[in-house]
Amino acid sequence: MAKTQSFADKATKAAAMKGAKCPTCGGIYQPLLVISSERSKVSSSIKFNERRVQVCKCNEKQIYS
Ligand SMILES: [Zn+2]
Whole-number Å distance, alpha carbon 1 to ligand 1 midpoint, is 40
pLDDT in tens, 15-43: 555 678 999 999 999 999 989 999 988 88
Whole-number Å distance, alpha carbon 38 to ligand 1 midpoint, is 28
Whole-number Å distance, alpha carbon 19 to ligand 1 midpoint, is 13
Distance CA 58, CA 33 (A): 17
Whole-number Å distance, alpha carbon 7 to ligand 1 midpoint, is 31
pLDDT in tens, 42-62: 888 999 999 999 999 999 998
Got the DSSP string for 9-53? HHHHHHHHHHTPBPTTT-PBPEEEEEEEEEE-TTT--EEEEEEEE
